[in-house]
A and B are shown apart, each in its own frame.
Chain A
Amino acid sequence: MSNEKVKKILIAEDEPDMRAILKGMVEGAGYSVLEAEDGQEALDLAIKEELDLILLDIMMPKLSGFEVLEKMKYNPKTQDIPVIILSNLGQEKEVNRGKALGAVDYLIKADVHLTEVLDKIDKYTGEKKPTE
């Protein structure tokens, strides 16, 4: 770990089991993790906290991941936070929509290993080089 301040990652995931696994993995990799159970909470945290990255699910109560992204886009405080969409919706139009709303990456949960998720987090937080 570097001397730099621990990076703060928000995991927006309504499924508790999945959130727990992710939290364990991301914390295990040395990140500080914030959790949100729904879209509204995620948006609130993104505004309140100084986040380094958000792992954003799409299908969530209150606000969907797309709505969260949309709202973040219009808030200067949040519009620069890198968002990786991590969802099991993987159809092209969804992928395209996510990317159009400013997500840096779109990962389909079922198709990726956890390590791949960590690699992406490292990549977009600048914590580690993927080649490392």
Chain B
Amino acid sequence: MLENENRKPKKGFGLNTKLVLIFILLSLLPISLVGLVVVSKTTRELENEAISRLESFSRAEAERINLVLSKISSSSKILADYATEFYRGPNYFYHPDYWSTDKLFQCPEGQWGNKASDASSVIVFNWQPLNEKVKYELTLAAALDFVFPSIKQENPDIDNLYIIGDKYSWYRFYPNSDPDPEKSGGFATDVLPPDLNKEGVDPVFWEDLDETRNPERLTKWTPPYLDVTGHGLMVSALSPVYDNGKMVALTGVDFTLQDITNRVLDIQLWKTGYAFMIDNQGRIISSPVRAQPDLGGEESVEISDLIAAAKQTANISLVRGYSLLDTDNPQLLQAIDIMTMGEDGLKTVNFRGIKKYVAFSPIENTGWSLGLVVPVNEVVASALTTRSFIFIVLTGVTFILIVLILFSSRLVTKPIKELTKGAAEISRGNLAYQIKIKTRDEMEQLAEGFNEMARKLRAYYATLEQKVKDRTRELALAKNRIEEEKNRIEAILVSIADGVFVIGLDKKLILMNPSVERISGFNQNDCLDKVYNQVFKFLREEDKKENNGFIEQALETGQLSVMANHTFLVRKDNSEMPVACSAAAIKNERGLTIGGVVVFRDITKEREMDRIKSEFVSLASHQLRTPVTIIKWGVEALLKQVEKKMNKSELEQMERIYRGSDRMIELVNDLLNVSRLESGRLVFKKEKVQFEELVGKVIDEYQPYLEKKKAKLVFEKPRKPLPQIEVDPEKIRQVIIILLDNALKYSPEGKEIKLTLGEREGEIVYSVQDQGVGIPQKQQEKIFTRFFRAENVSQKPGTGLGLYLAKGLVEAHNGKIWFESEENKGTTFFFTLPYKT
């Protein structure tokens, strides 16, 4: 519970909130800056801005118009340059047969025409005679015929190209706009009509261009005029042609103002704003109908009407009869004055109570000026509207941004939330949970990684669970086994009649069974956790001194240490009790001693039994021996007295009785020995003995028997003296005699018996070899058992106890006894006695 609380993240902004905050900060910062700039502007500033925009618009518009016009004027200049060249080198261009009569024809109106062979031009004359000078000049003009089309081709805005010479006395013109289709598109040479010449065109037209008025030889624009060709209002760009420092002709390029005026008419400014264009005398070149209330001209007429009138009267002044310099609006007049001076600027003009801005810019080289007229309130209102609009747009954008941010941040955080939820689910152990994210990006990969992890964990847990189950079952089984084992051991310990206690390496008592208390009187409280020798005192029987050596020995050597007898235990009530006890080391799986177990048994009753048994055996043997002895001695005494009087069969009979009594004595003796050996009551009085001497003595004693059987005894003594051994000589003597008896008994008369003494690996080896009947192979393994007699010796007297006794006696000396035998060849018995223990 605590753990879970600790795991909860600290309260704070969620990822979503953080993202939203970051996005909003990032996006709203510039927006709000812009908004601040917009809002902070005063109305005055906004107005100024609008004005400057108006001015720059007017300048740009004027410049655009100028661009168109300047192309036209440069064409005029090019044409003039060509003409000047021709005047400079007339020989080259002059064709003498140009004026041959066959090429002249009479025009229907009484004019003369000329059909030139190299140019399809028509030269029309309406006066006579054609003097040489004019002829010459016209020839020069005709030489320009190949120049005209190429210039027009280059600049399609051009309407007509022409050259005028001799102060309007002649002109050559391209393309011919004659209604006659044969002449249309060609060149026309004409003499300007006098009215046009003098009045239709400004009187200063020619003079403005001559060497005194225009020493820089600039191209100049005519004021707008109505063209007879019917193209409406036109202007011409005129350039002087010089010969010998004197202007001799001028070239002109006609340009219909239609495009430009239309352009001006099309200009729309704010709601009711408009543009107009005037020439350097304040005459309107172009102005829309809606400008009429402001600029006057109520009497203005349609252009087509004007053209018709002009054609009728050939009076162009009708068209340009109204100049804005004549206006009765003083503020407008001020503006127009500046405009006609060719300067730019801005004026506020009150038009019938409505204040309007008039922005104007001159059109270069023409003396014309373009004016833009916009009501002041429209400009300001629009600026305010713009401001409001920007404000609204900004607000809208901000709102949309916030929505987008919210949405997109959710887009980002939703899978993260899902992921977080999934991770929490998985960590809670819900491994079946699968995170569903389909964003096709790293989030999806991450989620898939989580899912994969969960799946693997699940699979792993599945096997783990199985493993845990298996282990648990194994553990339970093992526990049961241990429990069973423990119960068994406890049952054994409880049921065992011997006292058992366990000590640790520190020699403290760990465990004891109930028999301990029963036997010793010490209960668990007296014992547990105490060093064992503070509780249990084992005494040696001989001197009643403490004897815990067997326990220490078991712990030190790890071997079983047995004290079968001769030990007393001091009981709790201080009485002494004979016990048989043993101690064994407890070892761990590595074989290291970790403690010891001591077992002891009350042998009071055993001792009593022993005593009774011992007395019984003594008594029984005594009682058995007495009658046999009487028989034996009786026969002996009888034989001594009447031996000589007895016949042979009587003697044999006596001897049989004697042998019978002897065998019975032997049997009793053997029984008595076996009984004593088995009951452990044989007392061994060990002393240091030189073994070869002991054997020698026995042989000496035995000599009579050997002689009696005519046996030959060979005794092989070792070359160097044997080590001394510590044995009970009487017991060993007995063993030697038993083996010798057997060898003698089971050998045919006169056969050799061989005794050998040797030494090997810490022990003395004794062997006695006969050449007797041997022991049957099948019965060899039973030879040392009690009362066993081999089949092939059953006829011979014997108790079947001799070898059994010999084995017991040898083993009591820690020696070994064995034999090698082959039937009918002989037997060799061996025994060993250790000289080092």
Assess whether B780 is interfacial by the CB under 8 Å rule: no
Assess whether A80 is interfacial by the CB under 8 Å rule: no
How distant is A60 from chain B, measured CB to nearest CB, in Å? Answer: 12
A92 touches B683 (CB 8 A): yes
A88 touches B625 (CB 8 A): yes
Chain A, residues 61-99, CB within 8 Å of chain B (1/0): the string is 000000000000000000000000001111111100000
A59 to B626, CA, bound (A): 11
Q: Which of B13-21, B338-346, B627-635 contacts A (4 or more CB under 8 A)?
A: B627-635
User: Which residues does chain B contribute within 8 Å of A101, judged by CB atoms?
Assistant: none
User: Which residues does chain A contribute within 8 Å of B634, judged by CB atoms?
Assistant: 17, 21
Residue in contact with B626 in the complex, picked from A24, A88, A94, A113, CB distance below 8 Å: A88
Assess whether A22 is interfacial by the CB under 8 Å rule: yes
A59 touches B622 (CB 8 A): yes
Given A24-B637, A111-B669, A114-B637: A90 touches B621 (CB 8 Å cut-off): yes
User: Which residues does chain B contribute within 8 Å of A92, judged by CB atoms?
Assistant: 683
A93 touches B669 (CB 8 A): no
Q: Which residue of B lies closest to A58 (CB)?
A: B622
Given A59-B622, A89-B618, A91-B618: A110 touches B668 (CB 8 Å cut-off): yes
Assess whether B716 is interfacial by the CB under 8 Å rule: no
Residue in contact with B633 in the complex, picked from A18, A89, A91, CB distance below 8 Å: A18
Assess whether A109 is interfacial by the CB under 8 Å rule: yes
Chain B, residues 615-647, CB within 8 Å of chain A (1/0): the string is 000100110011011101110110010000000
Assess whether A50 is interfacial by the CB under 8 Å rule: no
Given A88-B621, A92-B683, A110-B669: A18 touches B629 (CB 8 Å cut-off): yes
A113 touches B683 (CB 8 A): no
Given A18-B629, A92-B683: A111 touches B622 (CB 8 Å cut-off): no
A21 to B637, CA, bound (A): 7
Q: Which residue of B lies closest to A94 (CB)?
A: B618
Residue in contact with A15 in the complex, picked from B618, B626, B636, CB distance below 8 Å: B626
Q: How many A-B residue pairs have CB under 8 A?
A: 58
B637 touches A88 (CB 8 A): no
How distant is B373 from chain A, measured CB to nearest CB, in Å? Answer: 166
A114 touches B622 (CB 8 A): no
A89 touches B683 (CB 8 A): no
User: Which residues does chain A contribute within 8 Å of B683, judged by CB atoms?
Assistant: 92-93
User: Which residues does chain A contribute within 8 Å of B628, judged by CB atoms?
Assistant: 110
B626 touches A109 (CB 8 A): yes
A115 to B643, CA, bound (A): 15
Assess whether A25 is interfacial by the CB under 8 Å rule: yes
From DSSP, what is the main secondary structure of chain A's interface residues? helix
* Interface members, chain B 656-679 (any A CB < 8 Å): 665, 668-669, 672, 676
- The interface size bin for chain A is 20 to 34
A89 to B615, CA, bound (A): 11
User: Which residues does chain A contribute within 8 Å of B622, judged by CB atoms?
Assistant: 59, 87-89
User: Which residues does chain B contribute within 8 Å of A28, judged by CB atoms?
Assistant: 640
A21 touches B630 (CB 8 A): yes
User: Which residues does chain A contribute within 8 Å of B668, judged by CB atoms?
Assistant: 110
B632 touches A110 (CB 8 A): yes
How distant is B729 from chain A, measured CB to nearest CB, in Å? Answer: 13
The residue among B626, B634, B665 with the most chain A CB atoms within 10 A of its own CB is B626
A28 to B642, CA, bound (A): 13
- The interface size bin for chain B is 20 to 34
Q: Which residue of B lies closest to A16 (CB)?
A: B630
Residue in contact with A113 in the complex, picked from B618, B636, B676, CB distance below 8 Å: B636
Given A25-B637, A110-B665, A114-B637: A15 touches B625 (CB 8 Å cut-off): no
A70 to B629, CA, bound (A): 27
The residue among A15, A93, A114 with the most chain B CB atoms within 10 A of its own CB is A114
A115 to B635, CA, bound (A): 12
Q: Which residue of B lies closest to A86 (CB)?
A: B629
The residue among B633, B636, B672 with the most chain A CB atoms within 10 A of its own CB is B633
A15 touches B637 (CB 8 A): no
Q: Which residue of B lies closest to A59 (CB)?
A: B622
How distant is A90 from chain B, measured CB to nearest CB, in Å? Answer: 7
User: Which residues does chain B contribute within 8 Å of A24, judged by CB atoms?
Assistant: 637
User: Which residues does chain A contribute within 8 Å of B636, judged by CB atoms?
Assistant: 113-115
Chain A, residues 5-31, CB within 8 Å of chain B (1/0): the string is 000000000010110011011001000
How distant is B659 from chain A, measured CB to nearest CB, in Å? Answer: 13
* Interface members, chain B 542-574 (any A CB < 8 Å): none
User: Which residues does chain B contribute within 8 Å of A115, judged by CB atoms?
Assistant: 636
Q: Which residue of A lies closest to B664 (CB)?
A: A110
User: Which residues does chain B contribute within 8 Å of A21, judged by CB atoms?
Assistant: 630, 633-634, 637
B625 touches A109 (CB 8 A): yes
* Interface members, chain A 14-61 (any B CB < 8 Å): 15, 17-18, 21-22, 24-25, 28, 59
The residue among A17, A28, A91 with the most chain B CB atoms within 10 A of its own CB is A91
B669 touches A15 (CB 8 A): no
A114 touches B676 (CB 8 A): no
A114 touches B633 (CB 8 A): yes
User: Which residues does chain B contribute within 8 Å of A59, judged by CB atoms?
Assistant: 622
User: Which residues does chain B contribute within 8 Å of A88, judged by CB atoms?
Assistant: 621-622, 625-626, 629
Q: Which residue of B lies closest to A115 (CB)?
A: B636
Chain A, residues 103-127, CB within 8 Å of chain B (1/0): the string is 0000011110111000000000000
Residue in contact with A110 in the complex, picked from B618, B629, B637, CB distance below 8 Å: B629
| 9 more CB-based (< 8 A) A-B contacts, given A21-B634, A90-B621, A94-B618 | A17-B630, A18-B629, A24-B637, A88-B621, A88-B622, A89-B621, A93-B683, A110-B665, A113-B636
Give 25 pairs: A residue, B residue, CB < 8 Å, sorted on A: A15-B626, A15-B630, A18-B633, A21-B630, A22-B633, A25-B633, A25-B637, A25-B640, A28-B640, A88-B621, A88-B622, A89-B618, A89-B621, A89-B622, A91-B672, A108-B625, A109-B625, A109-B629, A110-B628, A110-B629, A110-B632, A110-B665, A111-B665, A114-B636, A114-B637
The 7 closest A-B pairs by CB, nearest first: A88-B625, A110-B665, A110-B625, A109-B629, A88-B622, A114-B636, A21-B633
- Chain B residues engaging chain A, CB cutoff 8 angstroms: 618, 621-622, 625-626, 628-630, 632-634, 636-637, 640, 665, 668-669, 672, 676, 683
